[in-house]
Amino acid sequence: MFSSKEEFKKSFITRIESKDMRKTTELAYEILREMTCEWIKESWDRTNGLYKENDEKQLYYFSIEFLIGRVLGQNLMNINAYDIVKEGLDELGFQLSEVEELEVEPGLGNGGLGRLAACFMDSLASLQLPGHGYGLRYKGGLFTQHFVNGYQTEQPTEWIQEEHNADARREDLAIDIPYYGDVQLVMGTDGLKMKVENSEWVKAVPYDMPIVGANGGTVNTLRLWQAEVSNFPFPGDKDYLVYEQETAKITDRLYPDDSLESGKILRLKQQYFLCSASLQDILNNRSFSMEKLPENVAIQINDTHPALAVPELMRLLIDDHHLTWEQAWDITTRTISYTNHTILEEAMEKWDSRLIQSLLPRVYTIIEEIDKRFKESLETQTIDEETFRKLSIIENGVIKMAVLAVVGSYKVNGVAKLHTEILKKREMKELNEQFPNKFHNKTNGIAHRRWLVKANQELSGLITETIGPRWIEEPERLNELHYFAQNHSFLQDFQAIKTLKKEQLLYHLQRNENIIVDPASIFDIHIKRVHGYKRQLMNIMHIQMLCDRIKQDSTYRPHPRTFFFGGKAAPSYHFAKQVIKMINTVAVKVNNDPLLRKHLHIVFVENYNVTQAEYLIPAADVSEQISTASKEASGTGNMKLMMNGALTIGTLDGANVEIFEQAGQENAFVFGMRAEEVMQYEKEQSYDPKEIINSDPEIKKMMKQLVDGEWTEGKENVDFIVGQLLEDRDPYFVLKDIHSYSNAHERILAAYANPVKWAEMCVKNIAASGIFSSDRTIQQYSNDVWHLTKIPSVY
């Protein structure tokens, strides 16, 4: 690695001269990427060597999504070369920020779950823990979103560039994965065995990405599998061309539905592909006897998408490694652990038994056996029918992946205190009673190195100047900022940085969209997937109420606010798409109204992704975390915004509860129903939105305007929105909470009127945010579940 700017420049110039005399930003990107790869390679090899030598336990994080974002800048940051490179390039006539803009971000995830996996990778490497990721190398990441006439359109995003192909491919480690076939019972030397004949094989080729930890010492591996045709004999009753096409499809694109369980055969193929390839890879490369697997390997499955790891590990242990069922079960249930990310019924994965039986016949017999044995173990207890039903893995021809994951794993966790409580007391009450020590909580966290140190270098600089640099390695030291929450010069510096980040955001947006926003307005930011329970609808309906107030009441002249929205709707989620259309419609009306636009501005940022988030989050004054209580498992955007000094307007849901606990409710704007109330209403089915409409004149008027189509465009749009609120009885309690939401917004205005007090509240949030670093989360997983040992890197 380079120790000085001069050294960097010298090497950079040599390379540029050997390639092309035209000094374009594209060339600078190419060279910088090459140089970074070389620097990393050394540490990567050394880390791998150390892991081999030490024979230490390794963690493998199985996830169908890794939403890693751009890597070049982050890697430079982590190897402590960012500033040298920035200054060096500057002197050579390049801007590092321009160079970074050329990287197409790999969108290998949908939202929170995929991004969490990426944050965990960062923390594992930074804490010098031996933990790696296994995922899929989708050719097309999450779709690119464009608005056409206010509606979302989706275009495929191809992120793989030439340079991603060459050195990352590990042909030597390719593995064959069996689909279909006939299960036969055969007599072997050690008794009757199951054997599968006539399988259709698909080759899994790994591509490795380095995961660089802080200070560049530890470099772990993210291994992504790509599907290709196998050299194994082909069964013959299928057309080869069809086989070729079907094979390519397996890793062709990411499933864009972030909330709907979609029982598609291709998705099942993807899930099995990930599990089988990764497990075979682990078993092939082990240096210990199979019985010692749980002492040497921990596997964490990110939701149920990789839950086939349970029966697949059983299959490999029994059929390929000749263990007995009992031995295999003992090993499996001490190796695999499961994280649950949702209690939404529509996101709970279920598979038709016949589908699994036909695609994965041997795996199916194993799931049946697991279910049978588990049910037998219940026979000694008196269990009512309902409980028995809930404990069944297979029920009425359907396989419930969450039950399979719980029964087959060592530990099960939720992602925030409230979520884990709901899992234990309600959603998985019966399972928790059967396995009382399995369930535990691990509140999510975020990679502060990306979301603060990298995304907000100015604020990080100020923090370091103020409390010294140790907070970067020990983020809980951010609490030392409490001493500066009333220091005027510090508060002024903070405010100046906030303004600067707003200007940078606006500059970035103007490059892509024609947006004119007042940086002195309050930046109120609602960024996340668009979903009923996340209530973007409540936000836009509240804006509608504000418009009416401004028009009707000449004394109501609030401080200007810009409401930013960012988020994609699943392509098949019609309601969410109608909400997007409505927001865009209201935006046009408000932004063009001479009176309204003095006070309100609406910006829906197209194609929200990790890169956009890196611009939006540091610029936020207000963080919208307004899900219907009990629905958001945790949320992680809430943590990123808090850490960048935005104040939260939020419900007592997910990790908001813990955010308010840490920052103090007086430094946030809490509103709305609590989880118990929501769940009570749902149980009794006693909520009637009409009662609210009839009892609250402001809401009544707003509803009338909606029905009259004042804020929408086209009949379809009105029908969808009004239909959900009235016919579907407002399942996310928008009307129930909107009044208290509106009051919370008035409290925001009152607080913002005192800029010094506001800044003080922001600083108190930053000071309290250290606990939400994913370093803390990973350390907790390691202590309680994975039992990893830190392996210091030798320089």
Q: Which residues are catalytic?
A: 341, 528-529, 534, 636, 640
Which of 1, 102, 229, 347 touches ligand NBY by CB under 6 A? 347
Instruction: Name the minimum Å distance from CB 355 to ligand NBY.
Output: 15
Residue 654 near ligand NBY by CB under 6 A: yes
Instruction: Name the minimum Å distance from CB 444 to ligand NBY.
Output: 5
Q: How many amino acids of this chain bind ligand NBY (CB under 6 A)?
A: 22
Q: Residue 489 and residue 474: Cα distance in Å, rounded? A: 25
Q: One symbol per residue from 44 to 83: x for binding ligand NBY (CB under 6 A), - otherwise; what is it?
A: ----------------------------------------
Instruction: Name the minimum Å distance from CB 38 to ligand NBY.
Output: 34
Residue 532 near ligand NBY by CB under 6 A: no
Which of 341, 450, 526, 568 touches ligand NBY by CB under 6 A? 341
Number of Cβ atoms within 10 Å of the Cβ of 387: 17
Closest Cα partner for 530 from 570, 564, 572, 586?
Answer: 570
Residue 415 near ligand NBY by CB under 6 A: yes
- Which C-beta is closer to ligand NBY: that of 260 or that of 383? 260
Residue 342 near ligand NBY by CB under 6 A: yes
Phi and psi at 211, nearest 5°, equal -110, 105
Residue 112 near ligand NBY by CB under 6 A: yes
Residue 623 near ligand NBY by CB under 6 A: no
Instruction: Name the minimum Å distance from CB 534 to ligand NBY.
Output: 9
C-alpha separations of 696 from 429, 527, 540 in Å: 38, 29, 18
Q: Counting beta carbons within 10 angstroms of the beta carbon of residue 325, is it exposed (0 to 12), middle (13 to 18) or buried (19 or more)?
A: middle
Q: Identify the bridge partners of residue 563 per DSSP, sorted by sequence position.
A: 524, 602
- Which C-beta is closer to ligand NBY: that of 624 or that of 632? 632
Instruction: Name the minimum Å distance from CB 576 to ligand NBY.
Output: 14
Instruction: Name the minimum Å distance from CB 420 to ligand NBY.
Output: 12
- Which C-beta is closer to ligand NBY: that of 342 or that of 607? 342
Cα-trace Rg, the chain: 27
Q: Residue 536 and residue 540: Cα distance in Å, rounded? A: 6
- Which C-beta is closer to ligand NBY: that of 110 or that of 221? 110
Query: Which residue's entry shows tokens 């299960």?
Result: 183
Which of 50, 76, 96, 113 touches ligand NBY by CB under 6 A? 113
Q: Counting beta carbons within 10 angstroms of the beta carbon of residue 386, is it exposed (0 to 12), middle (13 to 18) or buried (19 or more)?
A: exposed
Q: From the centroid of its chain, how far is CA 457? A: 23
Residues 10-29 that bind ligand NBY (CB under 6 A): none
Instruction: Name the minimum Å distance from CB 305 to ligand NBY.
Output: 7
- Which C-beta is closer to ligand NBY: that of 99 or that of 415? 415
**In contact, 84 and 8? CB cutoff 8 Å:** yes
Strand order from edge to edge, sheet including 350-352: 350-352, 398-400, 394-395
Number of Cβ atoms within 10 Å of the Cβ of 507: 10
Give the tokens for residue 756.
């010094």
Overall size of the chain counted in residues:
795
| Stretch of 24-32, 340-348, 509-517, 712-720 contacting ligand NBY, by CB under 6 A | 340-348
Instruction: Name the minimum Å distance from CB 230 to ligand NBY.
Output: 26
- Which C-beta is closer to ligand NBY: that of 252 or that of 719? 252
| Stretch of 91-99, 111-119, 190-198, 382-390 contacting ligand NBY, by CB under 6 A | 111-119
- Which C-beta is closer to ligand NBY: that of 94 or that of 272? 272
Q: One symbol per residue from 310 to 329: x for binding ligand NBY (CB under 6 A), - otherwise; what is it?
A: --------------------
Q: Angle formed by the axes of helices 457-467 and 488-512, to 10°?
A: 160
Which of 444, 544, 584, 717 touches ligand NBY by CB under 6 A? 444
| Stretch of 140-148, 149-157, 594-602, 632-640 contacting ligand NBY, by CB under 6 A | 632-640
Which of 200, 246, 493, 632 touches ligand NBY by CB under 6 A? 632
Residue 421 near ligand NBY by CB under 6 A: no
Residue 445 near ligand NBY by CB under 6 A: no
Residues 91-110 that bind ligand NBY (CB under 6 A): 110
Closest Cα partner for 477 from 468, 485, 465?
Answer: 468
End-to-end CA distance of the chain: 11
- Which C-beta is closer to ligand NBY: that of 219 or that of 344? 344
Q: One symbol per residue from 245 to 284: x for binding ligand NBY (CB under 6 A), - otherwise; what is it?
A: ----------x-xxx-x-----------------------
**In contact, 70 and 217? CB cutoff 8 Å:** no
- Which C-beta is closer to ligand NBY: that of 259 or that of 782? 259
- Which C-beta is closer to ligand NBY: that of 145 or that of 342? 342
Which of 63, 74, 157, 636 touches ligand NBY by CB under 6 A? 636
Instruction: Name the minimum Å distance from CB 164 to ligand NBY.
Output: 24
Instruction: Name the minimum Å distance from CB 545 to ligand NBY.
Output: 27
Within 8 A by CB and 6+ apart from 142, the residues are 67, 107, 108, 109, 110, 157, 254, 256, 568, 609
Region label for 647, one of left (φ > 0), alpha (ψ between -120 and 50) or beta (otherwise): beta
Closest Cα partner for 213 from 83, 133, 123, 120?
Answer: 123
What type of residue is 185? L
Stated as kind and residue range, the H or E segment containing 222 is strand 219-229
What type of residue is 380? T
Q: What DSSP assignment string belongs to 517-531? A: --TTSEEEEEES---
Query: Which residue's entry shows tokens 């010692």?
Result: 292
Instruction: Name the minimum Å distance from CB 58 to ligand NBY.
Output: 23
- Which C-beta is closer to ligand NBY: that of 388 or that of 533? 533
Q: Compute the C-alpha angle 679/681/684, nearest 5°.
A: 105
- Which C-beta is closer to ligand NBY: that of 59 or that of 633? 633
Which of 584, 634, 644, 667 touches ligand NBY by CB under 6 A? 634
Residue 371 near ligand NBY by CB under 6 A: no
Residue 777 near ligand NBY by CB under 6 A: no
Q: One symbol per residue from 567 to 606: x for binding ligand NBY (CB under 6 A), - otherwise; what is it?
A: ----------------------------------------
Q: Residue 54 and residue 222: Cα distance in Å, rounded? A: 20
- Which C-beta is closer to ligand NBY: that of 133 or that of 294? 133
Q: Identify the bridge partners of residue 133 per DSSP, sorted by sequence position.
A: 61, 222
What type of residue is 290? M
Instruction: Name the minimum Å distance from CB 289 to ligand NBY.
Output: 35
Residue 635 near ligand NBY by CB under 6 A: yes
Instruction: Name the minimum Å distance from CB 631 to ligand NBY.
Output: 8
H helices present in 633-754, as ranges: 637-643, 656-663, 675-684, 689-695, 697-707, 715-725, 734-752
Give the tokens for residue 81.
């070369």
Give the tokens for residue 106.
């790999």
Q: Counting beta carbons within 10 angstroms of the beta carbon of residue 425, is it exposed (0 to 12), middle (13 to 18) or buried (19 or more)?
A: exposed
Closest Cα partner for 399 from 435, 432, 437, 360?
Answer: 360
Q: Identify the bridge partners of residue 152 per DSSP, sorted by sequence position.
A: 147
Residue 667 near ligand NBY by CB under 6 A: no
Give the tokens for residue 373.
């044995």
Closest Cα partner for 479 from 665, 756, 470?
Answer: 470
- List interacting residues with ligand NBY (CB under 6 A): 110-113, 116, 255, 257-259, 261, 341-342, 347, 349, 415, 444, 632-636, 654
